[in-house]
Chains A and B, each alone.
Chain A
Amino acid sequence: MIVYIVLIPLLSSLLTPILGLINRKTGFFVTLINAILTFTIIIYSTRKVYIYGPERYFFGGFEPPYGIEYVLDGLNSVIILIIAFIYLLSVLYSKKSLEKEIEQKRISLFYCIMNLYFTGILGIAITGDIFNLYVFIEIASLSAYTLIAMGLKRESLMASYNYLIIGTIGATFVLIGIGYIFMATGSLNMADLKLRLPSLYHSKMVRTGFTFLTLGLMLKLALFPLHIWLPNAYTYSPSTISALLAGTGTKVSAYALIRILYSVFTIDFDVNIIPFSKIFIFLSLIAIVMGSLLALAQKNLKKMLAYSSIGQIGYITLGISLANESALQGSIIHIFNHSLMKTALFFIAGGFFYKQGIENIQDLKGIARKMPLTMSLFIIAGLSLVGVPFTAGFISKWYIVIGAVESKYYIVIPVILLSSILSLVYIWRVLEISYFGESNGNEHKEELPVPLFFPAMISSVLCIFFGIYTELPVELSKRAIEILWGY
């Protein structure tokens, strides 16, 4: 069953351009059907995983460690669930939004590549083979470069090119890392590696491999000093793609990092044998502060959100590198929550562009009076980003801080709180301008059209929902932790 999770997007990606020759409009419907179908299958198989335990699929019937294996367990089911959900929302959003943001003759090609991207990220999440992981990283990255380049602005091409260069370096690092590990162990299967690696922990080859692998993933993840590609890529791509990339791209890399750190290597290796944990806690803290500070300095709304993503990624890596239960749980919940809120914010930012052509924060003056409902969604998602109680962001930050307190890293507390205040400031700046700014011209109400409003509404309402009904993300992440900690 689980092979269909990758197969359906791949097939529909082939189908889209062919049907697009007949009629351009078919692209959207094929993609939508694909998204719904995949999402349903994922819900079904996730449920199955929860009842019967991990599900495995051997490609071509070759059993691991020789063949390629797909695994669905407690950890990656959370990730593919949120990915598929965000993808579904983005597809719904895309139809109307793309009208103004790409050339219409390319629309079926656009959907083709979007499906390919979907294939890539699902593949990263579901594969149980590290070489296969690299292949899917490349699929996802190459299609992301293309999607960004399809934006109509001149800067889109430059952003895509920058991402291409840095992304390729990252992917190459991953490949080199995999090569070293394969040289040392002779195996590519994750479960098999977990058994073989511990005896080789002191070999330099394994350590070098580990370093390359994590560095490559950090590049893909846009951890602070390696983030240069991200702001422009998010800012100058079509709104749908900004939302999709922000919600899924970095998240899936974060998942891959968790998988490598805790499921291929072990916590003992990360914490005791090499000082991974210590180094990356401080890098993450720097990312958290710098992301928020840089976001504060931005004039362009989407760019501000992009820099805020860099800060939020810092939270995720912080939770990962603290290497204790609560923090890692917080990290997984934050992957989940941050996908929802950042997607909502990018949806709304795209909506402002669609309706009013607004890109800069200064031009938002008085927009809350024109679009009160849309703005209230922005408030919800924005406050969730800050981490106000009863929003999703609060829960994940809470777990991460509690994790830090439990492992006695008290330095984390002021940093996280400081960054919360900074994010309050940059979100509040937008709210203040939009509510109290003097707008020039007419002020009659015009909300977003339904196809744009609906996905934004769903994702931001869920930010509140998961802030109050926390059982689902907490329970899902608890299962994920059980897989990693191996009980």
Chain B
Amino acid sequence: MEYIKEFLIILVPLSGLICSLLIYIFRNEKYFKEVISVISSFCMFVFSLLVGREVISGNFLSYELFNLSPTLSIYFKADRPAVLFALVASFLWIITNFYSIEYLKGTKDKKETSFYCYFALTLFATTALAFSGNIVTTFIFYELITIFTYPLVTHKGTKEAVSAGRKYLAYLMGLSILFFLTALFLTYGITESLNFQEKGLFASYENKKLLILILFLYFFGIAKTAVIPIHHWLPTAMIAPTPVSALLHAVAVVKAGVFTLFRVLNYVFTPEIILKINGHFLLIAISSATIIIASLIALKQDNLKLRLAYSTISQLSYVVLGFSLLNKISTLAGLSHIIMHAFGKITLFFCAGAIYVQTHKTEVSQLSGIGKRMPFTMFAFAIGSLSMIGIPGFGGFVSKFLLFKGISDFGNYWLFFVLGLSTLLNASYFLPIVYKAFFEEPEKTEGHRKNLESLFLLIPVLVTALISVLLFFACSYIYDFIGDVRS
């Protein structure tokens, strides 16, 4: 057992890698892909749970894969935030798998093998990033996520998809190579170390200007956080199939971005150093601007998935804002918003996908009366929206509340206004959809079939919706688990 414990931490990402290999090898077998995807997602979840158990009981889990030179080692380490991220990603992978089976059938997709393969590979890279123990490993898997999701973004193979893919690569890879990697080398040049440490790497370094430069290079290099000047890739990536948008572009990829930022702010820098060099003001300004501007853009979007995408951009900045307020409560708010937003937003995306599969409708203006034909789906959509808005009784409230508390600890009260305005905006772009669905009359030209819901698409939606309600009541467990992040 002791022997297995050593490997436990790499078994989590490995189950994604093996899954994709098996799918590729047996690509001609019928139903094999679906079955193996489901099995490996379960494995990944169970392994994450086991790692979590070890972490809670105080064992230190780490694994060094290669050590190419003193500067270049692929090193994994488990701590509580990492386990949390891995758990969310792997759990939602299970649900997405069930959803994709029906979705791909519904859209008559021909490229199932590549879909399942790259999906598993992305999860592999995401969980590996979660457990990364140094900046190099983080960077490598950050890049791999981009590479593995590229085929999913260009899945349709149309001209539009190709140009979306180009944009996707240009933003994610271009910025990360230009800025993130530069920051990494500068960090190495100054500190001669690249490991994440509780006390940060720059503890004894004085040059404030260079530190601010490095901080900004990291911040703008991690384009996966989708803060406003570097967010364009996310809406264009919505051309991908809905399960991809749901799991990858609302959970795995973007959360990998904010998680990397979390690592940088807390384990490369430390809150104390950032406060000393006054680096947090720009971070706060940009993230609060993003919260408002992205919501405003979302208001204007008629395409449902695009509206959700801009909402994601706005919600991600809640997380970024939480991290950049640099106190314990706000960091906790950021981490818990990762979970809350994951469950809420995936519900919304699943609903959008179900609507598309059943009725081929993509625009909000076409949704009049859809609630009569897909009552449960739209019910789940309503729950997801309420959680996103942050109504008490739903998961989203918890993290928003914590964020309020974090702001009052930080003492910059105009941020209350930002959050309040954003809540108002959230309500005004989500609730009309719900209203339209349930209270407006459908157009007359539509078919006669009454209920359009298919069980396989419905169950995942209901499960995630239910969980986003339950999270409100279970929030104390999450706090207990995350505990004091920096202890």
Could you tell me the distance in whole angstroms from the C-beta of B78 to the nearest C-beta in chain A? Answer: 22
* Complex CA distance for A424 and B177, rounded to whole angstroms: 11
How far apart sit A398 and B136, CA to CA, in the bound complex (Å)? 11
Neighbouring A residues of B139 by C-beta, 8 Å: 389
Interface string of B56-88 (1 = CB under 8 A from A): 000000000010110110000000000000000
Q: Which of B68, B147, B177 contacts A420 (CB 8 A)?
A: B177
Q: Are the CB atoms of B140 and A408 closer together than 8 Å?
A: no
Q: CB within 8 A of B143: which of A388, A399, A405, A417?
A: A388
| A414 lies within 8 A of B182 (CB) | yes
**Chain B: CB-nearest residue to A395:** B68
Q: Does A402 have its Cβ within 8 Å of any Cβ on chain B?
A: yes
Give min CB distance, B245 to chain A, whole Å: 20
B66 engages A468 (CB within 8 Å): yes
Interface size class of A (residues with CB under 8 A): 20 to 34
A residues within 8 A CB of B157? 436
**Interface-side segment among B183-191, B254-262, B302-310:** B183-191
Query: Which residues of chain B from 169 to 186 have any CB-CB distance to chain A below 8 Å in the complex?
Result: 169, 173-174, 177-178, 181-182, 185-186
B15 close to A (CB within 8 Å): no
Contact, CB under 8 Å: B181 / A417: yes
Query: Would A413 and B166 count as touching, CB distance under 8 A?
Result: no
A413 touches B68 (CB 8 A): no
Q: Which of B125-163 contact A (CB under 8 A)?
A: 139-140, 143-144, 147, 154, 157, 159, 162
A424 to B169, CA, bound (A): 10
Q: Which residues of B contact A436 (CB under 8 A)?
A: 154, 157, 159, 162
Q: Tell me which residues across on chain A come within 8 A of B72, comparing CB atoms.
A: 395, 398
Interface assignment of A99: CB less than 8 Å from any CB of chain B: no
List A contacts of B159 (CB < 8 A): 436
Check B177–A405 contact: CB distance below 8 A: no
Task: Flag if A417 contacts B154 (CB, 8 Å).
Answer: no
Could you tell me the distance between the alpha carbons of A406 and B190 in the complex, rounded to whole angstroms? 9
- Given the known interface contacts A388-B147, A468-B66, the answer about A402 and B178 at a Cβ–Cβ threshold of 8 Å is no
Check B188–A405 contact: CB distance below 8 A.
Answer: yes
- Are A389 and B143 in touch, CB under 8 angstroms? yes
Q: Is A432 an interface residue (CB 8 A)?
A: yes
A378-B162 Cα distance, complex, nearest whole Å:
19
**Contacts A408-B189, A413-B185; A402 near B71 (Cβ below 8 A):** yes
Please state if A399 and B185 are interface contacts (CB–CB under 8 Å).
no
User: Do B144 and A399 touch (CB < 8 A)?
Assistant: no
In the complex where A399-B69, A424-B173, A470-B66 touch, is A389 in contact with B144 (Cβ < 8 A)? Answer: yes
**Complex partner residue of A401 from B66, B166, B185, CB under 8 angstroms:** B185
Q: How far is the CB of A395 from chain B (nearest CB, A)?
A: 7
The distance from the CB of B90 to the nearest CB of chain A, in whole angstroms, is: 23
Instruction: Return chain A residues, CB-CB under 8 Å to B188.
Output: 402, 405
Task: Give the residues in chain B near A468, CB-CB below 8 Å.
Answer: 66
Report yes or no: B144 in contact with A421, Cβ–Cβ below 8 A.
no
Contacts beyond the supplied A406-B189, A410-B189: 18 A-B pairs with Cβ under 8 Å: A388-B143, A389-B143, A390-B140, A398-B72, A402-B185, A405-B186, A405-B188, A405-B189, A408-B189, A413-B181, A413-B185, A414-B178, A417-B178, A417-B181, A421-B174, A421-B178, A428-B169, A436-B157
The 6 lowest CB-CB distance pairs between A and B, nearest first, are A405-B189, A389-B140, A436-B162, A470-B68, A413-B185, A417-B177
7 interchain pairs (CB within 8 A)?
Answer: A395-B72, A398-B72, A410-B186, A424-B169, A424-B173, A432-B162, A432-B165
Residues of B within 8 A of A (CB): 66, 68-69, 71-72, 139-140, 143-144, 147, 154, 157, 159, 162, 165-166, 169, 173-174, 177-178, 181-182, 185-186, 188-189
Chain A residues at the B interface, C-beta cutoff of 8 Å: 388-390, 395, 398-399, 401-402, 405-406, 408, 410, 413-414, 417-418, 420-421, 424, 428, 432, 436, 468, 470, 474
